[in-house]
Amino acid sequence: MRPAATRGVKGAAEILYREAQCSGSDRLKILIIGATGRLGRCLVEQALAAGFKVTGLARSPESFQLAHERLSVARGDLLDVASLNNILPGHDAILVSVAPKVRFRQRSELLSKGALNLCSAMSQMKGTRLIWVTSAGVDPQYVKGKKFVYKRIIRPFFLANVYADFRLSEEILENSSLNWVVVRPSRLTDGPLTKTYRVQANGSPKSATEISRADVAHFMVKEAVDHQYNFKKPIIAY
């Protein structure tokens, strides 16, 4: 059965957003790790638009151009436990949008080591939500429907090691005591925000192909509020 798209998000989610738009210390506090990336920038912009108080964590804060009264930018790194220990406390949700650059036979431990670091840094942060991004490409059902070039060339020669790191990071979170959700987007694009997409918690939506970073950010910011996919790994796609 084809899963229902998140139609009418402007109803349910926007109501949740308005409930979060409190004043002063009551505002939801969100930390975005990887805030200077393309997905990270979408997250920052949408979290601010939702009325949240936002901290952006970046290795090079000086490259971050956005300024807002509810935005602070801090220097830090997912692989630097000390910076995480300093920045994480006091936030209600941690949204992570980092990924390695894809190269031929790329090897990466970015997400698996980052997941271990966050498990350590968040061990005493009871109730703080972690929203973690990997890829729909780690799901066998998603891969099954792909074409020859993806399955025989792109995946084995460019993405296999990256996906292995993604899977390991998911296993680390599954075996942790954290309150987590893993977001598995299909192929990312720089398309517009539509607020209409399919979400499937088990397996892959039929004919899942792509989704814009803006809509991935929309889902993540919404999930920071409504907690619909606790301890699940939803794939999102058009």
The Cα-based distances of 60 to 55, 76, 79 in angstroms read 14, 8, 14
Radius of gyration of the chain (CA): 17
- Give the single-character DSSP code of 72: E
Average pLDDT, the chain: 87
Candidate from 4-8, 73-77, 89-93, 100-104 with smallest mean pLDDT: 4-8
The whole-number pLDDT of residue 7 equals 39
Is 54:71 a contact under the CB 8 Å cutoff? Answer: yes
Alpha-carbon dihedral sign for residues 182, 184, 189, 191 = negative
Residue 5 has pLDDT above 90, yes or no: no
Residue 67 has pLDDT above 70, yes or no: yes
Candidate from 24-28, 163-167, 168-172, 175-179 with smallest mean pLDDT: 24-28
Is 79:113 a contact under the CB 8 Å cutoff? Answer: yes
Extract the tokens encoding 27: 């505002």
Of 176, 183, 84, 87, nearest to 132 (Cα)? 183
Q: What is the mean pLDDT of residues 12-17?
A: 49
CB atoms within 10 A of CB 51: 16
* All domains of the chain in start order, with CATH: 9-237 (3.40.50.720)
Angle at 124 between CA 118 and CA 125, to 5 degrees: 75
H or E stretch covering 210: strand 210-212
Of 205, 132, 134, 202, nearest to 163 (Cα)? 134
Report helix angle 213-226 to 9-20, nearest 10: 60
> Please, which residues have CB within 8 angstroms of residue 189's CB and are 6 or more apart in sequence?
210, 211, 212, 213
Tell me: the pLDDT tens digits for 176-197? 999 999 999 999 999 999 999 9
* HSE-up (13 A, CA, CB side) for residue 33: 27
Q: How confident is the model at residue 157 (pLDDT cuts 50, 70, 90)?
A: low
Q: What are the residue ranges of helices labelled H in 1-80?
A: 9-20, 38-49
Tell me: the pLDDT tens digits for 110-128? 999 999 999 999 998 988 9
> Please, which residues have CB within 8 angstroms of residue 97's CB and are 6 or more apart in sequence?
32, 33, 34, 35, 37, 39, 40, 43, 133, 220
The whole-number pLDDT of residue 148 equals 61
Q: Which residue has better confidence, 148 or 22?
A: 148
Of 45, 157, 35, nearest to 105 (Cα)? 157
Q: What is the mean pLDDT of residues 6-27?
A: 50
